[in-house]
Amino acid sequence: MHPILFKLGFIEIRFYGLMYVVAILVATRLIKSEVKRKGIGLDDEGVMNLIVSTVIGGIVGARLYYVAFNAPYYLANPIEIPAIWHGGLAIHGGLIGGASLAWFYLKKRGVGYWRMADVVAPTLILGQAFGRFGNFMNGDAHGLPTNMPWGIVFPRTSIAGAEFPGIPLHPTMLYEMAFNLTIFVVLWFVLRKRAHRDGFIFASYLAMYSFGRFIVEQFRADSLMFGQIKTAQAVSLSLLIIAVIAIAVKGLWKAER
């Protein structure tokens, strides 16, 4: 693995950034088709504006969340705060930031938030899968040492290799990529085709992703911590409970009458 795809003079094309571009392009296509299928009142320009707002909010939220949990380092090295190509985007912060800007935009356009959230949810998890491949090529979001035959020794120039030089590690970014792709298949090819109330697809996304992330986090070596607690596990457990309660109490799996 190598973080740089190729160079053109002083221009570097990195896998990490490329994966975001690919995710946005794929998401745009899928969202446009779903908006038309469901008859949601957004034209192509409206969809693009929503995507741009969500992406900006997501990246800013993900970075600020990560920086907040590593405040001593970034206070000492403020020039590193915008350097997202070095890694350091937290998905839970991204969800908060992206969802917030999306809410403001959809409210302004008079579009139902949860109806649109159901459209966006499958593309979110697919984008996360692309992002984890970027992490793999970048050598971050890595796991703990392992004796399992699929353990990977990362280059010493990577974050993972620098922390654990010459030691096989759990490829946690590939674990997460695999379950993200599985969740996408379930959301897009199974749940999306069934009648349900607004918010069911999004709540299912939150529940399934939170469950998987809670498990994978057990093997992560670079977890954000709140005291002795892994932040991602605490947040994932909370979101899982909230999502399951919402599905059960609101009967989101039922067809609208």
Q: Classify residue 4: in a domain, yes or no.
A: no
Q: Which domain covers residue 57, as residue numbers? A: 14-250
Residue 256 lies in a domain: no
Give the three-class secondary structure for 228. Answer: coil
Residue 158 belongs to some domain of the structure? yes
Does residue 155 lie within any of the structural domains? Answer: yes
| Look-up of token digits 């590939």 | 174
Q: Tell me, yes or no, whether 109 lies in a domain.
A: yes
Q: Is the pLDDT of residue 215 over 70?
A: yes
pLDDT score, position 83: 85
Q: Domain for residue 126, yes or no?
A: yes
Number of domains in the chain: 1
Q: How confident is the model at residue 86 (pLDDT cuts 50, 70, 90)?
A: confident
Question: Could you give the C-alpha distances from 247 to 113, 195, 236, in angstroms and in order?
Answer: 16, 14, 16
Question: What is the pLDDT, as a whole number, of residue 1?
Answer: 67
Q: Give the dihedral sign, CA 24/26/32/38.
A: negative
Spell out the alpha helix ranges (H) of the chain. 15-38, 44-68, 71-76, 91-109, 113-138, 159-163, 172-189, 200-216, 231-250
Q: Residue 2 domain-assigned?
A: no
Structure tokens at 109: 């356009």
Output the pTM of the full model: 0.92
Structural domain contains residue 106: yes
**Interval 100-113: pLDDT, tens:** 999 999 999 999 99
- Is it the case that residue 257 has pLDDT exceeding 70? no
pLDDT digits (tens, 9 = 90+) for 31-49: 999 999 999 989 999 999 9
- The alpha carbon of residue 129 and the mean position of all alpha carbons in its chain are separated, in whole angstroms, by 7
